[in-house]
Amino acid sequence: MLYTIYMLLNKKIVIFDLDGTITESKQELSEKTAGLIFKLALQKKVAIISGASFVQFEKQFLSAWNKFFGDNVEVNKNLIILPTSGAQCYEFDSQSQKWIQVYALNFPQGVKEQVIKILGSIIESGEFEVPKEHFGEYIEDRQSEINFSALGQNAPSEKKKIWDPDQVKRLKIRSEIEKNISQVSVSVAGTTSIDILPLGEDKGVAVVKLIERLRIGLTEAVYVGDALYVGGNDHPVIKTGIETISVSGVNDTEVLLQSWVL
């Protein structure tokens, strides 16, 4: 992974996936990674995107970020949070000292009900190897996105890593969803999850919308993610023409960040 600070000079924004890229699945941001992102945000706009809800972002990213850097208004103004695969956008408001929702593209209610019904059938059928033992709810309504987690939303990471390491089980579930409902975009996410968005919405669309909102060019952005493979929820970003960097985990990202800021 050779991408030096010199190659970053013409970039105005760096966009990071969350789970598997800057944090382990549903785990809090480490002090080391937070420090490296902070140094980068002194120089560039930084966006963090995930299928997670904003509430999950608060637990996983912002709690650690605020602990270390919450009082640095200038850096916070350079940070953009994109929950639910970018269907929502939050920015820091320096007057209120709070993260404010800039926009949200919520799921049509009728389509949402269909999705939840189909997921219920998949869980109950026994044909898709969804474990009966689960940790928290299988389905989470994130308003702009429906997330399905095969072991439950609160499953321990050691169990999640061994359930579907090659994505075969989730790709089968994805096909079943797409076969039964055409008004959605479906992608594999994290280690046991599937993200379901309104048709036409995905991380690629969200990233382009953000870039247009910032009035910069596609060549002035770079995206870092661990699921850029076909079917992964980062893959739609490749189709936009934005430069992408594939990482295999948090350690890769830390090495990349160190090459940029140290």
pLDDT digits (tens, 9 = 90+) for 140-191: 999 899 999 999 999 998 999 999 999 999 999 999 999 999 999 999 988 8
Correct CATH for 109-198 of 3.30.1650.10, 3.30.1240.20, 3.40.50.300, 3.40.50.1370? 3.30.1240.20
Confidence at 109, pLDDT banded by 50, 70, 90: confident
Amino acid identity of residue 143, one-letter, is Q
Confidence at 107, pLDDT banded by 50, 70, 90: confident
Domain span(s) for CATH 3.40.50.1000 in the chain: 5-105+201-261
Residues 71-96: what's their mean pLDDT? 93
pLDDT at 3: 58
Q: Which of 1-10, 132-141, 219-228 has the lowest mean pLDDT?
A: 1-10
| Cα gap 69→72, rounded to integer Å | 6
Extract the tokens encoding 211.
């870039």
Number of H helices, E strands in the chain: 9, 11
Residue 22: is its pLDDT beyond 90? yes
Per the CB < 8 A criterion, the answer to whether 219 and 105 are in contact is: no
Contacts of 27 (CB under 8 A, 6+ apart): 60, 157
pLDDT at 190: 83
Q: For residue 185, what is the enclosing H or E element?
A: strand 184-189
**Following CA atoms 176, 181, 186, 191 in sequence, which dihedral angle do they give, to the nearest 10 degrees?**
-40
Confidence at 247, pLDDT banded by 50, 70, 90: very high
Domain span(s) for CATH 3.30.1240.20 in the chain: 109-198
| Cα gap 75→213, rounded to integer Å | 19
CATH architecture, range 5-105+201-261: 3-Layer(aba) Sandwich (3.40)
pLDDT at 10: 86
| Cα gap 17→227, rounded to integer Å | 9
Residue 262: is its pLDDT beyond 80? no
13-17 and 45-49 strand pairing: parallel
End-to-end C-alpha distance for the chain, whole angstroms: 16
pLDDT tens-digit map of 201-235: 899 999 999 999 999 999 999 999 999 998 888 99
